[in-house]
Chains A and B, each alone.
Chain A
Amino acid sequence: MQRSLDRLSRVRGVTGSMFVAADDGLGVAQLLMEGVNGKVLAAFAASLARKVSGAAAATGAGKVRFIQMQAAGGILLVCAGGELLVTVVADAGVNVGLARLEMMRAVEALAQP
């Protein structure tokens, strides 16, 4: 997990990355810049994932794999990996494709024994 977080933190613009327990909304592992509240990030990322998954199920869109929420001050990215979510907060100028790639890698690494 720490290796995945290290790789994510090297993506320019990423200000924090976390593994979050999807059901509980609690952080499992994190690498956050000063000023990023991990407790709040974990709780809201899990809540967002749950709500988006509910909306996807209701509309027949299937399983949600990746969520991108763009706001005025930055971007929240959430990648579903079973019981854990990979969550990233980043500046508005972040390369989302690169961040997404690293998040997918982190999810794959979770699945490996």
Chain B
Amino acid sequence: MTTTTVVEGWTELPLARFIQQSSARLVVIMTPAGQVLAQHGFTRAVDLMSAAALGAAIMASSGALAQQVGEAGFAALYHAGQRHGIHLAGTETPRGKLIVLTVFGKETSIGLVQVFFDEFVVALRKAAPVDEPRKVILAADFENELNSSLASLFRR
């Protein structure tokens, strides 16, 4: 059974709708630092944290590459595999920049994921609380924050 769990409640409805519409298998909403706000489809914390860290790293490195060729940034990245496709995109919200990693199978397509991702982004921006900026996580608090997020996501 696949599950959806969220750390920040405002992400839940837009995420549930995106999953239903796009038929995505795995979705992670995270900050550019790799802090997970919501996830769908992961059953093990270690897999989720790996995916979030790798997704954030890919966005950071592709952003640096974009700057080198004179672009402000790349809007989205798409990798096509034999059985799965990966869509990785960033978006600005009132809560700051967020990255969404979507993994999908042959039951859907990159075209559908892109169409519903556009709607998802609009819904996220609408749902994001504007008067509540995200607190800066200091290195000293990182482990506690990570443990707290994992506890929320996997109900430990």
Contact = CB atoms under 8 A, between A and B. Distances in A.
A42 B115 CA distance: 10
A39 B116 CA distance: 11
A31 to B, nearest CB: 18
Interface of A: 20-21, 23-26, 39-40, 42-44, 46-47, 50
Nearest to A50: B109
Q: Is the interface of A mostly helix, strand, loop or mixed?
A: helix
Interface string B104-120: 00001111101100000
A24 B109 contact: yes
Contacts of B108: 47
Contacts of B111: 20-21, 24-26, 39, 42-43, 46-47
A47 B108 CA distance: 7
Most chain-B Cβ atoms within 10 A of its Cβ — which of A21, A24, A39?
Answer: A24
Contacts of A25: 109-112
Contacts of A50: 109
B144 to A, nearest CB: 42
A47 B109 contact: yes
Interface of B: 80, 108-112, 114-115
A32 to B, nearest CB: 15
Contacts of A20: 111
Q: Enumerate the 3 nearest inter-chain pairs by beta-carbon distance, A residue then B residue, closest first.
A: A25-B111, A43-B111, A25-B109
B108 to A, nearest CB: 7
A50 B112 CA distance: 12
Contacts of A24: 80, 109-111
Contact of B114 (A21, A23, A39): A39
A47 B110 CA distance: 11
10 contacts: A24-B110, A25-B111, A25-B112, A26-B110, A39-B111, A40-B115, A43-B109, A43-B112, A46-B111, A47-B111
A80 to B, nearest CB: 15
B118 to A, nearest CB: 8
A23 B112 CA distance: 11
Nearest to B110: A24
Contacts of B112: 25, 43-44, 46-47
A40 B117 CA distance: 12
Given A20-B111, A40-B115, 13 more contacts: A21-B111, A24-B109, A24-B110, A24-B111, A25-B109, A25-B111, A25-B112, A26-B109, A43-B114, A44-B115, A46-B109, A47-B108, A47-B109
B117 to A, nearest CB: 11
